[in-house]
Structure 1
């Protein structure tokens, strides 16, 4: 029963945290860690956790896959050089600097490098949770893309560090370089190949439930493929997701896609939240192991606290230094006009440093350390300290830093949204007569569709911010009236069910149709 109780406790903590965080002005990830700590007050939950290998295999593939599906590939291409530098070089430098600082404070090189690998990658999901939409689009996109790449880099560093710590591999510069190259190239190759294969399968699945079952399997298949060839399983998942994100719009039905968004949205939300709760659950046992005084393997609590504080300071200083130095080096080497348009300010780099919080992946790496590894308690404690400190300190400071950075408002997405809507309607409008002839539509139907498209095009051309324009007013009134009618129809159908005039099956069928129409109209209003 303990497993079931743990599942219920994790789910309840995530729900309570999401509801409570906005009311008490605390970031949700930090509150979830605190709720995990609170759960340890229940005797049955003390010392409870998932097996180390389960953490990486259960949490990482779906989280990374959903992040890659929802990232802009165009923006990745635009800022590719900075993303690669932040996702690879910055991670290696951060891991090495952290390891050197931890070792200088008395920690062995093995656990020091593992800590460096754990705290090196940033977490864009945690950033999104604490930024509340305040972070400019460019910085948010770059952080998302960086977090996808740096996860793979950090796990390669982690694998080398564990091999070094356990003495299972001989470390040399040539070996490490070869490991990185093979891991990256192999992971991307496997991911693209499996994405092509999964799309081939998806195009032949018409049943939405079966299609979404295949979608849920995709990140695990990609992760398994990367593991089987001993390449980066993380990059296999990421490259698979990026490839599918470009091809899926024309390969998957609208109904399947609606289910996919709903399933992945709630799934990634629960997995992310559960990871933070699990860290809270793991903290007391890690602290207890340190306090118990594993003199032959570990360090006193005071020494571990000093290491944790030093590591946190190190990741901030290292990130800012690398961002500033690399920017000026690139500026000195590349003087092309295109490159000048991509330049930003040191204030923006301070904002990027503040936004570079640590989260789910760092926790997963720390919790994946084998239970019998002597310094595991210190590794988990230091990593959790860094994650909590970044969420608490950087999370509270980020809104003020964003305002201080004075980044100009980016209206590009809004402009492109209106362009896409207008172009789609104009071209559909032109094709309307031919399409009507092909499917033999009556003139009355054609005239009605023609009028609706004409009205909508007039509203978009006028601009939905122009409240006084007649076409805009009519479009908004039309949507509100349709929503009101949908609510009335739903109440009528429920009344018929309550009167036992219709069956629950009939209710659910009509309710599904009404829900789809309501969602469409509601989304239309949101984007207008």
Structure 2
């Protein structure tokens, strides 16, 4: 009972605060962090310490998988150059920049400073997409941010692991490079194998409940074998999820796909909001540890501000420079525009993976308490500063979400084209196949009416969306 009650309160608080944030128009991640931080100082709330393995094994695989199965493989192929830039090069540049600043300012060795750089380097998938969905960003920009956040955790974790190896005295450049290659290639191979295994099993399942149950354990089917061979479980989960999402119509029934989508939406909603509440609940514990450390709270806070500023400056400088170079040199056929680069550069919110990676630092790490505190400050600082202002930056750059009327028109046109093609195919089959020539006219008319209802529904939705958009535009003009 003493375990069930905290879990119940954690879940209930997560749901309640998330619904409240949506009603009042606030960012749920920011509100959950704030409430968790306040609650951490209440005497009735016990000290919360979330083991890094809980996050990396319990939260990260399903969250990555939930995003991966909805990620378009076409979008990934189209924006692969930008995604590689952000998820590999930018993470390494950020880690190196933070490492140099920390090494220069703090009384720690270069290995510990680089470990901190790897910890704070990757923006969080959950934080970025949660804020992007709330404020509304162009579809391509959201696809690039989601693609980046799917793969950057792997780069960061390998960087942290390499720095930790240097701390323990077992570092070598060749071994570090080999570890990175094994992590990437091994993750891809395991991800593809897991995809084929799950696809084979799902092909023989026609029960929607069983199919959803298999889907729920799929992230760990990819993650655990990859981690067992020292490959990247993150990459394995992402590869499996993207491939399964792309091939789902071929191996799964429509009923199973609908049920799976609804279940994963619920799982993602619960987990992605719960992690931010857990971040807040650890605030008091981390601050107490820093207050009793050798560096003290005040001195460590100054270091944390310096690292936060470095993190927030490196990302926009790198992305804007890459966008400009790509446009000038034409080495990239589809570079981000400077306006898109500015918004993407400001969308660098850190999340729970940063704290989880900080707790991976071994106990003998010099000034470990201060490094964990700095990771906390960077996480909360980017969530508050960039999370609150990202919408204003997008408005300043005049970037908007896709017009809902254009989406509704596209859906209606696709449905109408499908209905017309189906009608033509049916007429051709009736004319060419003697066995179908005796099909009762009532059945043919019933099928035609069903198709007509589907097409008409989409055109009616287009009309409804157009009226709603006009009312919203009028109301906006009146407010101005």
| TM-score of the two chains, using structure 1 as the length reference | 0.80
Tell me how far apart the structure 2 counterparts of residues 439 and 140 of structure 1 sit (CA, whole Å).
51
Aligned pair partner of 2:417 in 405, 416, 423: 423
Matched, 1:328 2:324: yes
Identify unmatched segments of 5+ residues in structure 2.
Answer: 468-480
Aligned pair partner of 1:350 in 325, 332, 342: 342
Alpha-carbon spacing, 1:450–1:301, altered in 2? closer, same or farther (3 Å) = same
Contact 1:29 1:273 in 2 (8 A): yes
Matched, 1:397 2:395: no
Contact 2:320 2:345 in 1 (8 A): no
How many residue pairs get aligned? The number is 459
Counterpart in the other structure of 1:215:
215
Alpha-carbon spacing, 1:366–1:266, altered in 2? closer, same or farther (3 Å) = farther
Identify unmatched segments of 5+ residues in structure 1.
Answer: 473-528
Counterpart in the other structure of 1:266:
266
Counterpart in the other structure of 1:106:
106
Counterpart in the other structure of 1:156:
158
Counterpart in the other structure of 2:448:
450
Tell me how far apart the structure 2 counterparts of residues 52 and 455 of structure 1 sit (CA, whole Å).
52
Cα offsets for 1:479-499 (capped at 9, x unmatched): xxxxxxxxxxxxxxxxxxxxx
Cα offsets for 1:464-514 (capped at 9, x unmatched): 5457x9xx9xxxxxxxxxxxxxxxxxxxxxxxxxxxxxxxxxxxxxxxxxx
Q: CA deviation at 1:101?
A: 1.1
Q: How does 1:232-311 map to 2 (within 5 A)?
A: 232-293=232-293, 295=294, 299-311=295-307
Alpha-carbon spacing, 1:409–1:17, altered in 2? closer, same or farther (3 Å) = closer
Q: CA deviation at 1:199?
A: 0.5
Aligned-residue CA RMSD (Å): 2.8
Alpha-carbon spacing, 1:198–1:284, altered in 2? closer, same or farther (3 Å) = same
Q: CA deviation at 1:23?
A: 4.9
Counterpart in the other structure of 2:357:
365
Counterpart in the other structure of 1:121:
122
- Which region of structure 1 is more displaced relative to structure 2, 107-116 or 248-257? 107-116
Alpha-carbon spacing, 1:375–1:100, altered in 2? closer, same or farther (3 Å) = same
Contact 2:18 2:28 in 1 (8 A): yes
- Which region of structure 1 is more displaced relative to structure 2, 404-413 or 266-275? 404-413
Q: CA deviation at 1:26?
A: 3.4
Q: CA deviation at 1:289?
A: 0.7
| TM-score of the two chains, using structure 2 as the length reference | 0.87
Alpha-carbon spacing, 1:277–1:439, altered in 2? closer, same or farther (3 Å) = farther
Contact 1:283 1:380 in 2 (8 A): no
Q: CA deviation at 1:20?
A: 2.5
Tell me how far apart the structure 2 counterparts of residues 262 and 104 of structure 1 sit (CA, whole Å).
50
Alpha-carbon spacing, 1:376–1:281, altered in 2? closer, same or farther (3 Å) = farther
Contact 2:408 2:462 in 1 (8 A): no
Q: CA deviation at 1:455?
A: 5.5
